[in-house]
A = this chain, B = another copy of it.
């Protein structure tokens, strides 16, 4: 499944608590530089930068240069896409489980 591997990066990005906190902060503020984010978190700026890189590769944030600072903002599309994919997968599992159960009840 190429879909799964594509979403793999997103799940990995979402699995880290610090990264989720970065996303929360960005969603609350709309925009923020790495320094500004680091000031509101218990980790150093380089750590935040690394997390932002991961989030960017997963498509969850985008960056915009404004003078000497770089402002990051959140991007909802990948989340929506992954949500749709997961819902479809869950529905598929449900379908399979129902079929197996039916098979077990009618010998």
What distance in Å separates the Cβ of A96 from its nearest Cβ neighbour in chain B?
6
Which residues of the other chain, B, contact A1 by a CB distance below 8 angstroms? 24
Q: How many copies does the complex hold?
A: 2
Name the CB-closest residue of B to A5: B17
Beta-carbon contact of B76 and A97 below 8 Å: yes
What distance in Å separates the Cβ of A73 from its nearest Cβ neighbour in chain B?
8
Query: Does A47 belong to the interface (CB within 8 Å)?
Result: no
Contacting residues of chain A (1-20) with chain B, CB-CB under 8 angstroms: 1, 4-5, 8, 11-12, 14-15, 17, 20
Which residues of the other chain, B, contact A79 by a CB distance below 8 angstroms? 86-87, 89-90, 93
What distance in Å separates the Cβ of A17 from its nearest Cβ neighbour in chain B?
6
Beta-carbon contact of B15 and A8 below 8 Å: yes
* A27 CB contact (under 8 Å) in B11, B27, B84, B92: B92
Chain A residues in the interface with B (C-beta under 8 A): 1, 4-5, 8, 11-12, 14-15, 17, 20, 24, 27-28, 30, 73-74, 76-77, 79-80, 82-84, 86-87, 89-94, 96-97, 100
